[in-house]
Amino acid sequence: MANKDVTDPVRMEKIVSLCKRRGFIFQAGELYGGLNGCWDYGPLGAELKRNLKDYWWRKTVQERDDVLGMDGAILTMEQVLQSSGHIGGFSDPMVDCKTCKGRFRADNLDTYECKEKPSVCPGASPKCELTEPREFNLMLQTNFGATGEQVAYLRPETAQSIFCQYKNVLDSNRVKLPFGIAQIGKSFRNEINPRNYIFRSREFEQMEIEYFCRPEDGMRLTDEWLETRLCFYEEIGIPRAKLHILDVPDGDRAFYSKKTYDIEYEFPFGIQELEGVAYRTDYDLGVHAKGSGRPLEYFDEETKERFLPHVVEPSAGCDRTVLALICEAFDEEELGTDGKSDMRTVMRFMPSMAPIKVAIFPLLKKNEEQVRICREIQKSLQPWMNVFYDDSGAVGRRYRRQDEIGTPFCVTVDFETLGEEIPDLKGTVTLRHRDSMEQERLSIDELLPWLLARVR
C-alpha cells in the first residue's frame, strides 16, 4: 500500500526526465503517441537491466547447487491457465468514476490521484460517483492457426511453465528435494491502471524461483528465502533500511498460501512491493496433476515415500528492481565553489550494476598519441566490461556527463602518460572516482585487474 507520507514527486520527475534525456527508458510507441503501460529500455537502461538479470542468475542459479534454470515459452496453453485458476480467477476489482471518467482498482483507491478533479475523485470523496466493483480479468489473449481457431495466452507470470516442467526437470537432472527451478522472463497483465512509471506496466519481466521441498520444511524455507532475498537487494545497492517487510495477514493472502512476505521499497511515490516470497503449499503441483491427469509425485528413495512436494516462491519484478536501483542511485550534490552554486547530478550505482564501468578520455582530442593509447586501452578492456570512449569538450564536462549516468571510474590519458614531463609517470593514467571525485595514478598494465576486482 502506498504511503503518501514518504512521497517526493519532484524527485520522481527529475528521475523520469534524466532517464529519458540520457537514454535509460522511453515510452513504447512514443513516435505514435505512446502505448500505455509499455516501455522501451534505451542503451543505458538495457545495460542496467542486463546487469541486474545476470547478477540474479549468477547468484540464484550458477552459484547454487540446488537451483536449476529454465526458459519457458511466453505463449501459454489455455488448459495450463485453466488448471492454475488464472482463467477463472486472475482478476482485479475495477470501478469507474462517473465524475472524472477514470478507471481504478477498487482494492487500492486511496493510492490514486485524480488528475482532472483531484478534490472529488476517486472514491474517498462523498462527491465521487463510483460504479459498483466489477471483476476484470488481467490476462491477454491471442489466437493461433490460419483461422485463429486456437486460443493461447501471453503468460501472466513465469511460474506456470516451471510447474508444468517440474517433472521433466526432475527426471532429466537427477536432483533431490529440496531443489528449485528459476526463470527470468516476460509476463503480461492487462493492468487496469498502469502507472508510477515502469512500476506497474502491462508488459514486464519477472525473476522467479519455485523451490520444491518436503511439506514439513515449507515454513522454515520461506523465512530462509526471505533472508536470502533481502541480502540480494543489499548486494546490488538497495539498503536494508529502505526495505520494508510486510507479513501479509490471513485473509489478504491467496487462499492456498500459508505464509506470504511482501518485500517493499521506499519509492519516491510511496512504499511499494518489489517482490513476494510466498509459501504456496502443494497447490500448484496439485492442480496440474489433477488438470493433466498425470502423476506429479516425488518418490523419496530413502524413506520410500511418495508425495507432492510443497513450494516456496520468491517472485521478483525485474523492472521494479531496475526502478528501485535508479531511484536509490539518483543524487544531487551541491559543490559550491568560489561562492557560485554548482549542482552535480550523480547516479551512485554500485559498480556491478553501472551500465558503463569505465570511461576513457584523451586529455586532448588533437593529440594523436593520447588518442591511440586510449583506443588501445579501450580494446584491452572491452572483452571484459562495457567501456565508453569520449573526446568531446573539456575533461571536467566529460566527468560530469559520466557522473550523471553512474559510470564509477574515468580514465584520462594525459601528457604524463606519454612521459613528456615526468619520465617516471610514463605509461600511467589518471583514474578518477565518481563518488569522491578523487584522482589517483595507475599504470596501464594494472588497469584491467584493478577494474575487474571492482566492477563485477
Question: Which of 47, 191, 264, 390 forms a contact with ligand ATP (CB under 6 A)?
Answer: 191
**What is the per-residue binding string for ligand ATP in 227-256, x denoting contact by CB under 6 A?**
------------------------------
Question: Which of 84, 111, 161, 206 forms a contact with ligand ATP (CB under 6 A)?
Answer: 206
Minimum separation from the CB atom of position 431 to ligand ATP (A): 37
Minimum separation from the CB atom of position 273 to ligand ATP (A): 5
Of 170 and 184, nearer to ligand ATP (C-beta) is 184
Strands 310-317 and 203-213: antiparallel
Verify binding: residue 324, ligand ATP, rule CB under 6 A: no
Of 166 and 265, nearer to ligand ATP (C-beta) is 265
Whether 83 and 288 have beta carbons less than 8 Å apart is answered as yes
Whether 430 and 421 have beta carbons less than 8 Å apart is answered as no
Verify binding: residue 189, ligand ATP, rule CB under 6 A: yes
Minimum separation from the CB atom of position 267 to ligand ATP (A): 12
Question: Which of 161, 183, 315, 430 forms a contact with ligand ATP (CB under 6 A)?
Answer: 315
Minimum separation from the CB atom of position 169 to ligand ATP (A): 21
**What is the per-residue binding string for ligand ATP in 273-292, x denoting contact by CB under 6 A?**
xxxx----------------
Q: Hey, what's the cell of 395?
A: 575533461
C-alpha 68/C-alpha 228 separation (Å) is 17
Minimum separation from the CB atom of position 276 to ligand ATP (A): 4
Residue among 301, 22, 279 nearest 174 (CA): 301
Whether 45 and 53 have beta carbons less than 8 Å apart is answered as no
Q: Which residues contact 404 (CB under 8 A, 6 or more apart)?
A: 18, 22, 345, 346, 347
Of 206 and 428, nearer to ligand ATP (C-beta) is 206
Of 254 and 335, nearer to ligand ATP (C-beta) is 254
Of 317 and 351, nearer to ligand ATP (C-beta) is 317
**What is the per-residue binding string for ligand ATP in 139-178, x denoting contact by CB under 6 A?**
------------------x---------------------
Question: Which of 204, 261, 269, 409 forms a contact with ligand ATP (CB under 6 A)?
Answer: 204
Order across the sheet with 91-96: list the strands.
103-105, 91-96, 134-137
Question: Which of 210, 264, 319, 403 forms a contact with ligand ATP (CB under 6 A)?
Answer: 319
Whether 332 and 292 have beta carbons less than 8 Å apart is answered as no
Count residues binding ligand ATP (CB under 6 A): 16
Question: What single letter denotes the amino acid at residue 112?
Answer: Y
Q: Considering only residues 346-385, where is the footprint of ligand ATP by CB under 6 A? A: none
**Per-residue CA distances from 213 to 93, 177, 193, 308 (Å):** 34, 5, 36, 9
Question: Which of 49, 320, 357, 434 forms a contact with ligand ATP (CB under 6 A)?
Answer: 320
Of 199 and 212, nearer to ligand ATP (C-beta) is 199
Verify binding: residue 200, ligand ATP, rule CB under 6 A: yes
Provide the binding-site residues for ligand ATP, judged by CB under 6 A. 157, 189, 191, 200-201, 204, 206, 273-276, 315-317, 319-320
